[in-house]
Chains A and B, each alone.
Chain A
Amino acid sequence: MELLIKNGYVVDPANGIDCEKLDIAVRGGKIVEEVSSSAKILDASNMLVMPGGVDIHSHIAGSKTNLARVLRPEDHFRDFERRTALTRSGVGHSVPSTYTTGYRYARMGYTTVIEPATPPLKARHTHDELNDTPIIDKACFPLFGNNWHVMEYLKNGDLELCAAYLSWMLRATKGYAIKIVNPGGVEAWHWGGNVVGLDSEVPHFGITPREIVRGLCKVNKMLKLPHAIHVHPNNLGKPGNYLTTIKTMECVKDLAEGASIHITHCQFTSFKGEDWSTLRSGAQEIARYVNRNDHVTIDMGQIIFTATTTMTGDGPFEYILHQISGRKWVNKDVEAETGAGVVPVVYKRRSFVNATQWAIGLELALLIEDPWKVYLTTDHPNGGPFTAYPRVVSWLMSKRARERTMSRMNQSAARKTILQSLEREYSFEEIAIVTRAGTAKALGLKAKGHLGVGADADISIYRINPKEIDPSRDYRAVRKALRRAAYTVKDGQIVVKDGEIKEVVQGRTFWIDSRVPKDLEEKIHRELSKSFREYYTVGMENYFIGEGELARSSPIYVGEAKV
């Protein structure tokens, strides 16, 4: 199938193209130099053409997402979609059902989404749900920061064996990257406790969070994984935690060759102050660090003033949130590895704390100079549903939009944030970086996030003319256009037109087919075979997910590990 997208204003930052009128040629699901005269023509005149959106962090599938769906029928009652000839029915404002999730991302022009916190023992559940999430390509990040095997290998200095274990685990769970959530803290939570910083000792394991993060960073390099370690630091949600975040970024600096750490939903870990009443933004300090150091990337974790649902692998944090807010609380620990918690939340404009949080996310994005280091997320659904991304874009592109929201929020918080003084307004090119080009690059997805020859033909076309519109003034028009793509093209097929689903396709699931030298592979197999049932209540052979279990498996081979 050939497609020619004509006359659009193309924004393709990875290839240095910024609002140039260009034609994009598509054949066989890829972007090509040119197509024949029998190609289908898609007239993109006066429209903005970008690579399809790449969301680096969004909790859309798996055990805790489903726990949240079950916890919150009330989240579904007021937001549902009827079945149509092409689409399945579904529900959900902050925790949509899987079909609805896929459709809603596609309608916004997003074509790749990462599920960022997968408990390995239940990775099969994540893949089950991803298989039922239509259109978008996806990948998942298995959790390792509280894993017994990892902590033991690192404690014993067995870096090679740790790498071999991680390699096996990535294949077993069909995972894409190393995710770390509150390292050591969730193991402590399995006794009802927590850790308080990088140098706390994890009970019974004699290791510190610092050692866990450094060890996994080294393993990441050895395995040549395309994405850096993806870290949710200790002390999330605690006033004063910005220091922990900086220390966490700093603790792997010496291991850097390029990016060595990604700090996720950074807003939640950029708090200054001693308690809630003295809460301030630590965004300046974080931004200063990120500006001065090239081994770090972050994503925003922007909050939206709405009712939403928090869900993370940070069990102890969710318990604290439950205690503070009194809202209902689900906790699900996972043996020998990790855990999760879910608590509904409402972010209120009138709340000093929430308003400060709102400002922090934006300050981070506006103060970090290089848009290739900071990405747009709401940590869906923790900060807000992903359907609010266009709103975040409008805040980034328009000071006026920010002021409007600030005028209606807690004024004490508004006065204390430096947001008023920030004049910066993102351009379309910068927006494309923080929502597509930058995220694809950070993830190492070479065929995503750009429109060069050889890229996957994932393209979003929006009904705004970047040459004519002034996004600073007409931010509402920008928001409206980004909510409903004029066209979304997935692997060369038009799947969305004017915000309606035109075709449903099955997206790929990317995973790393990680390999280590044969003797190491055999060694880890022997070790695990002996002890697996001592750690887990299932056998090794039942833990491992077969490639056939993925509806559309797309393994990525990165070469043999350098041990």
Chain B
Amino acid sequence: MKVIVVTGRSIAQGRSKESKFSDEYARAAATCEVDPEDLSTLGVKPGQKVKLTTSRGSVNLFASVSSQSPHRGIVFIPFGPWANSLMDAETDGTGMPTLKGMEAEIEPAAEDEVLGLKELLAKNLKERGRT
């Protein structure tokens, strides 16, 4: 399903961001909030996994039913390295990368794994980077 990805703050992400390697942070940031109707169309239940893909990359996340709906066609992902696996570094000459409003595909990913922070970093940074 085509959606628009918006990243931003959430209380849970804010509360746990000083403990980046904690389970709590992973639960907060490796999730996406999906409109209930969209979830239903996708055939995904809350807590199940989905895969988000943009032109810049893809990432597996836990889907949660959004408490801030309606926002059909919009998926909200809290700030963090999972969200940033998808977002565009292009700043359009402003210094600000495009962290809201990217076009994406969302699909069920029940059999796939949502990576913990260590694994995510290992995967994301291995090309030209370091682990």
Touch A–B, Cβ below 8 Å: no
